[in-house]
Amino acid sequence: MTYDLAFADDWLLACIPHGADMAAAVQIECEKARIEVPETRVVCGVILTDEPLDTDDIVYRGNQHGWLSDAEGRTFGYAVRRAA
C-alpha cells in the first residue's frame, strides 16, 4: 500500500493511504493541534518502511517534526519512492 504525505514547511501534518481525503486529514490534524490550516505541500504514492533499500529515494525520515504511521497505527522511520 502507498501513502500520501502533507507538509507545512518541514512539519509533517498527515500521512494517509494514497487516494484518501487529504484536505479532511489536514483539517483534523490542525484542529487537534489548535492551529489554522497552513498552506501545504503534498507528496503522493510513497512507501513506508523501517529499512530503506540502497536504491530508494528517501522522501521523509520520521523525526520530531512528525512521525509516519500506517492505516493500522504502526510507525515507520522512512517514507520512500521505490524503483519498480
Written as nine digits, the cell of 69 is 504511521
- For residues 60 and 78, the answer to whether their CB atoms sit within 8 Å is yes
**pLDDT in the model for residue 64:** 81
Fill in the amino acid letter for 21.
D
Q: What is the extent of the structural domain holding 26?
A: 3-81
pLDDT at position 6 is 96
Q: How many domains does the chain have?
A: 1
What stretches in the chain show pLDDT beneath 50? none
- Predicted local confidence at residue 15, as pLDDT: 96
* Residues facing residue 81 across a β-bridge: 57
What DSSP state is assigned to residue 37? P
Whole-model pTM: value is: 0.91
Give the per-residue pLDDT at 53: 96
CB 27 within 8 A of CB 21: no
Pairing mode, if any, of strands 3-8 and 57-61?
A: unpaired
